[in-house]
Amino acid sequence: MSITPALSVRDLTVVYGDQPALWDVDLDLAPGTLTAIVGPNGAGKSTLLKASLGLIPRVAGTVSFFGRPLNAVRNEVAYVPQRANVDWDFPASVHDVALMGTFARLGWFRRPGAAERQRAIDALERVGMADLARRQIGELSGGQQQRVFLARALAQDAQLILLDEPLAGVDAPTETTVMSVLRELVQAGRTVAAVHHDLETAPEYFEDTVLLNVQIRNVGKTREVLTSENVKAAYAGRPVSLELIR
Ligand code: ADP
Ligand code: MG
């Protein structure tokens, strides 16, 4: 008997203009796993998340979540976009953003009540941001913004959490907090996949890794995937710091 993957991608192809960003990608994320999505700049990592979530059109391919189409399980799938691609001038408090995570389960006509507000506060506490709940998001440091985004996903209480570079440009305490929250989620049976730019920390942080460059290059246990040969091949023609290759 096979286990239904949390995310299953088949034959996924995405093209911008006439350039393929993803070509015939197959990927399964087993439930309860913590996976890094690694590859050079422009490899299609963000595109893989966005196309899987239906945020950008696919030329070909099918995607299912827990064996079902996204529409049937939307509440169970949380997405944490790349911080750099978010409009931080949007007027919202830290608490507002965390509260947005609860909207998925509310439906169209119910407004968030005391239970939702408490869920938002609990989520902010988990990431060490409850003290700043009234602060405007535009006033936060990069690390604080990242933690608030993670809190929004926690407030959603999803089974699958997809994150785009959650550790890019954050301070060391935020990095520690984010990774410990992700590990807790996985220990609680949730499935987590994150685009990760740092080859050096990947083996310590992620049990499994997908090495991507338009196509899937390697997939499996991080230490077996991120060998120097695999990394060199996947990053071929792109600048890569040799000290990052072991
Ligand atoms: P990564 O996240 O791995 O750095 P992306 O998924 O952002 O890569 O991008 C993959 C490729 O698609 C890159 O060559 C990028 O320039 C291109 N691309 C991404 N978004 C767009 C877009 N909206 N329009 C045109 N090209 C895009
Ligand atoms: Mg990206």
**Residue 130 CB burial class (10 angstroms; 0-12, 13-18, ≥19):** middle
220 phi-psi bin (left φ>0, alpha ψ -120 to 50, beta other): left
For the Cβ of 143 lying below 6 angstroms from any atom of ligand 1, the answer is no
Q: 233 pLDDT exceeds 90?
A: yes
- pLDDT at position 238, please? 53
In a domain, 18, yes or no: yes
Which is the closest atom of ligand 1 to the Cα of 41?
4
Look up the domain containing 99 and give its range.
Answer: 7-235
In a domain, 69, yes or no: yes
Torsion of CA 8, 10, 14, 19, to 10 degrees: 130
- pLDDT at position 89, please? 82
Q: 1 pLDDT exceeds 80?
A: no
**CATH classification of the domain holding 53:** 3.40.50.300
In a domain, 217, yes or no: yes
Q: How far is the CA of 42 from the centre of ligand 2 (A)?
A: 7
- pLDDT at position 240, please? 45
What are the tens digits of pLDDT across the range 40-63? 999 999 999 999 999 999 999 999
Query: What is the percentage of the chain residues whose pLDDT exceeds 90?
Result: 85
Q: How far is the CA of 136 from the centre of ligand 2 (A)?
A: 26
In a domain, 166, yes or no: yes
Confirm if 82 and 168 have CB atoms less than 8 A apart: yes
Torsion of CA 143, 193, 151, 47, to 10 degrees: 70
For the chain, what's the residue count? 246
Q: How many domains does the chain have?
A: 1
- pLDDT at position 112, please? 87
In a domain, 243, yes or no: no
pTM of the model: 0.94
Q: 22 pLDDT exceeds 70?
A: yes
Stronger pLDDT, 33 or 236, i.e. the higher one? 33
In a domain, 242, yes or no: no
Which residues are within 8 A (CB) of 222 and not within 5 positions of it... i.e. 6 or more apart? Answer: 36, 202, 203, 206, 207, 208, 209
Q: 242 pLDDT exceeds 80?
A: no
